[in-house]
């Protein structure tokens, strides 16, 4: 039985797809093993969001070849769609599969025996079929792919070129996949995609329709919305989550800049005033809700004044944490042609300032919740003999390891912020589900 191992770079969507392809391999008779073991075939699922995609890909290929010099290495994912010729010339790479071809990995593998250096990469315009997927392997949670592709063409982003147009399954078909996940040990499902708020764009259905139906799926205790554009986060979605017993009060809403001038250059679909409105709408319905924010610093033309506008905007905003990204120039994007390049050291400085702000926001959010009773889904043990978990509103807690708590929903009282930034809790009781 040939052995195959997978490695995933990038986002939750990539993890759901790697896991799905891994299940296909198992059903075809492959022995799916850990990437750290010696495998006959290594499959690396790549990302294209940062400029380090090339370096990361090369590093992982080297790691694979060290484990088994005779192995075959296949590269899939966004980077594989965008730069196939560049990747196939990396020493040790045998095959590159583009966006449409990666889900047919099993039938393509024989081509490696027939010829060296195989590239199968159709034009992205031909990638118009939605392939569902979900991750398994983590007993606690699963990433459920509900949407793929994007029609937005923000000026800094290559995702439409790497994944194609926005598409999804019907609500009914998506529910079938969710019910499959519900048959596993998983307690929490994270909805993922490229632009999940655009769900149903080609089926005359909406993300709201999907949320309403998912809420009825037995066997999943929690649904979490991974990331949703502010212009697609409708009031009715917010109000539904506020009443739901399964959808948790946690939203990740990309902002990218607090300057309207920069947002316009980025070709975002909103201005900062709408963002404030969305945050206020969430907090009015769910005062305890956690709100995460994506921000890009150092976009071309971002002056010190623009950055301070973003910094002060976020400082005053009632949000809980930030994901900060220094702008990374990507080929074939409008932003690459813009004047006003920001030096790397300035980007790093601005990112550092925002990450400090993020930590202050997170600690203030945690502090607000001390003394409150919340429900935690506990994960496994870590090296220090502790176990961690998250409350429904994404407060990270830590307790001494207790095997009986793993993958359990447990009521706790939030007691104090620990030195490591997690919250110490008193375990009250298990939750009936």
Tokens linked to 290: 């956690």
With a pLDDT cut of 90, the percent of the chain lying above it is 83
Domain count, the chain: 3
Question: Is residue 26 predicted with pLDDT exceeding 50?
Answer: yes
Give the number of C-alpha atoms closer than 13 A to the C-alpha of residue 260, restricted to the C-beta side.
7
Query: Mean per-residue pLDDT for 194-209?
Result: 95
Q: What is the DSSP letter of 115?
A: S
β-bridge partners, 6: 43
Question: Is residue 368 predicted with pLDDT exceeding 90?
Answer: yes
Provide the pLDDT for residue 433: 46
Tokens linked to 352: 């550092």
Is residue 149 within 8 A of residue 160, CB to CB? The reply is yes
Examine the domain organization and report whether 108 and 32 are in the same domain: yes
Strands (E), 79-146: 95-97, 118-120, 133-134, 141-145
Is residue 222 within 8 A of residue 188, CB to CB? The reply is yes
Examine the domain organization and report whether 174 and 107 are in the same domain: no
Is residue 103 classed exposed, middle or buried when 0-12, 13-18 and 19+ CB atoms within 10 A define those classes? middle
Helix-helix angle 235-243:207-214, to 10 degrees: 10
Look at residue 290 and give its three-state secondary structure: strand
Examine the domain organization and report whether 122 and 133 are in the same domain: no
Q: What is the DSSP letter of 65?
A: H
What is the per-residue DSSP string for 322-365?
A: EEEEE----TT-GGGG-S-PPPHHHHHHHHHHHHHHHHHHHHHH
Residue 270 in domain: no
Examine the domain organization and report whether 7 and 121 are in the same domain: yes
Q: How confident is the model at residue 56 (pLDDT cuts 50, 70, 90)?
A: confident
Given 195, 214, 248, which residue is the final one in a domain? 248
Taking Cα atoms as reference points, which of 71, 69, 13, 73 lies closest to residue 43? 73
| Higher pLDDT pick, 287 / 58 | 287
Question: Is residue 431 predicted with pLDDT exceeding 70?
Answer: no
Examine the domain organization and report whether 75 and 150 are in the same domain: no
Residue 287 in domain: no
Query: Mean per-residue pLDDT for 339-343?
Result: 97
Residue 381 in domain: yes
What is the per-residue DSSP string for 123-141?
A: -GGG------EE--S-SSE
Query: Mean per-residue pLDDT for 422-427?
Result: 95
Examine the domain organization and report whether 105 and 49 are in the same domain: yes
Query: Mean per-residue pLDDT for 338-346?
Result: 97
| Containing structural domain, residue 412 | 373-430
Residue 110 CA to residue 259 CA, distance in Å, equals: 52
Look at residue 242 and give its three-state secondary structure: helix
Look at residue 407 and give its three-state secondary structure: coil
Residue 42 CA to residue 67 CA, distance in Å, equals: 10
| Higher pLDDT pick, 253 / 124 | 253
Given 248, 271, 301, which residue is the final one in a domain? 248
Decide the pairing of beta strands 409-417 and 31-33.
unpaired
Taking Cα atoms as reference points, which of 103, 157, 104, 160 lies closest to residue 132? 103
Residue 269 in domain: no
Cα-based angle 188, 194, 200 (whole degrees, multiple of 5) = 85
Examine the domain organization and report whether 21 and 80 are in the same domain: yes
Provide the pLDDT for residue 112: 81
Q: How confident is the model at residue 75 (pLDDT cuts 50, 70, 90)?
A: very high
Question: Is residue 31 predicted with pLDDT exceeding 70?
Answer: yes
Examine the domain organization and report whether 153 and 233 are in the same domain: yes
What is the per-residue DSSP string for 24-62?
A: HHHHTT-EEE-TTS--SEEEEEE--SSTTHHHHHHHHHH
- How do residues 81-94 score in pLDDT, each as one tens digit? 999 999 999 999 99
Provide the pLDDT for residue 55: 82
Examine the domain organization and report whether 75 and 136 are in the same domain: no
Is residue 372 within 8 A of residue 414, CB to CB? The reply is yes
Residue 261 in domain: no
Provide the pLDDT for residue 51: 66
Alpha carbon dihedral 166, 169, 171, 177, in 10-degree steps, equals -130
Provide the pLDDT for residue 384: 83
Query: Mean per-residue pLDDT for 225-232?
Result: 96
Q: How confident is the model at residue 27 (pLDDT cuts 50, 70, 90)?
A: very high
Is residue 33 within 8 A of residue 161, CB to CB? The reply is no
Question: Is residue 53 predicted with pLDDT exceeding 90?
Answer: no
- How do residues 94-144 score in pLDDT, each as one tens digit? 999 999 899 999 989 888 877 778 899 888 888 889 999 999 876 689 999
Question: Is residue 289 predicted with pLDDT exceeding 80?
Answer: yes
Examine the domain organization and report whether 109 and 142 are in the same domain: no
Residue 395 in domain: yes
Q: How confident is the model at residue 429 (pLDDT cuts 50, 70, 90)?
A: confident
Taking Cα atoms as reference points, which of 20, 35, 228, 46 lies closest to residue 104? 20
Query: Mean per-residue pLDDT for 155-168?
Result: 93
Given 222, 248, 274, which residue is the final one in a domain? 248
Average pLDDT, the chain: 93
Residue 396 in domain: yes
| Higher pLDDT pick, 427 / 111 | 427
Examine the domain organization and report whether 140 and 154 are in the same domain: yes
Q: How confident is the model at residue 50 (pLDDT cuts 50, 70, 90)?
A: low
Question: Is residue 426 predicted with pLDDT exceeding 70?
Answer: yes
Residue 81 CA to residue 83 CA, distance in Å, equals: 6
Query: Mean per-residue pLDDT for 404-412?
Result: 94
Examine the domain organization and report whether 184 and 87 are in the same domain: no
Tokens linked to 265: 């250059």
Q: What CATH number should be reported for the domain holding residue 223? A: 3.30.750.210
Q: What CATH number should be reported for the domain holding residue 391? A: 2.40.50
With a pLDDT cut of 70, the percent of the chain lying above it is 98
Q: What CATH number should be reported for the domain holding residue 68? A: 3.40.50.2300
Three-state SS annotation for 385-402:
CEEEEEECCCCEEEEECC
Residue 356 in domain: no
């Amino acid at each position: 039985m040939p052995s195959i191992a997978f490695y995933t770079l990038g986002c939750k969507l990539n993890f759901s797809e790697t896991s799905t392809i891994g299940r296909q391999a198992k059903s075809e008779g492959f022995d799916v093993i850990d990437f750290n073991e010696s495998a006959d075939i290594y499959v690396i699922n790549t990302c294209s969001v940062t400029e380090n995609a090339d370096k990361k890909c090369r590093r992982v290929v080297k790691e694979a070849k060290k484990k088994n010099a005779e192995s075959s290495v296949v590269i899939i994912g966004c980077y594989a769609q965008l730069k196939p010729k560049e990747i196939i010339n990396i020493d040790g790479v045998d095959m590159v599969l583009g966006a449409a071809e990666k889900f047919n990995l099993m039938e393509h593998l024989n081509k490696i025996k027939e010829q060296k250096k195989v590239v199968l990469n159709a034009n992205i315009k031909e990638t118009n079929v939605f392939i569902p997927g979900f991750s398994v392997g983590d007993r606690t949670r699963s990433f459920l792919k509900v949407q793929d592709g994007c029609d937005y063409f923000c000026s800094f982003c290559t995702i439409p070129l790497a994944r194609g147009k926005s598409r999804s399954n019907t609500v009914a078909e998506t529910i079938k996949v969710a019910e499959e996940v519900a048959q596993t040990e998983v307690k929490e499902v994270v909805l993922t995609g490229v632009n999940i708020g655009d769900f149903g764009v080609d089926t005359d259905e909406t993300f709201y329709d999907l949320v309403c139906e998912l809420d009825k799926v037995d066997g999943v205790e929690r649904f979490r919305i991974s990331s949703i554009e502010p212009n697609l986060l409708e009031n009715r979605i917010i109000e539904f989550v506020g009443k739901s017993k399964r959808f948790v009060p946690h939203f990740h809403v990309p902002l990218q800049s607090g300057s309207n001038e920069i947002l316009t250059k980025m070709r975002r679909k909103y201005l900062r005033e709408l963002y404030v409105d969305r945050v206020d709408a969430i907090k009015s319905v769910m005062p305890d809700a956690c709100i995460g924010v994506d921000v890009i610093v150092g976009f071309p033309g971002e002056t010190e004044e623009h950055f301070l506008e973003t910094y002060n905007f976020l400082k005053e905003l009632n949000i809980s944490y930030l994901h900060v990204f220094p702008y990374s120039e990507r080929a074939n994007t409008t932003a690459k042609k813009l004047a006003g390049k920001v030096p790397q050291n300035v980007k790093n400085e601005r990112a550092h300032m925002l990450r400090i702000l993020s930590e202050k926001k997170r600690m203030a959010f945690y502090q607000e919740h001390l003394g409150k009773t919340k429900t935690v889904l506990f994960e496994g043990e870590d090296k220090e003999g502790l176990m961690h978990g998250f409350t429904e509103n994404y407060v990270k807690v830590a307790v001494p390891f207790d095997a009986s708590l793993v993958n359990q929903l447990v009521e706790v009282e939030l007691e104090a912020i620990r030195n490591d930034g997690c919250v110490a809790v008193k375990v009250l009781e298990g939750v009936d589900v």
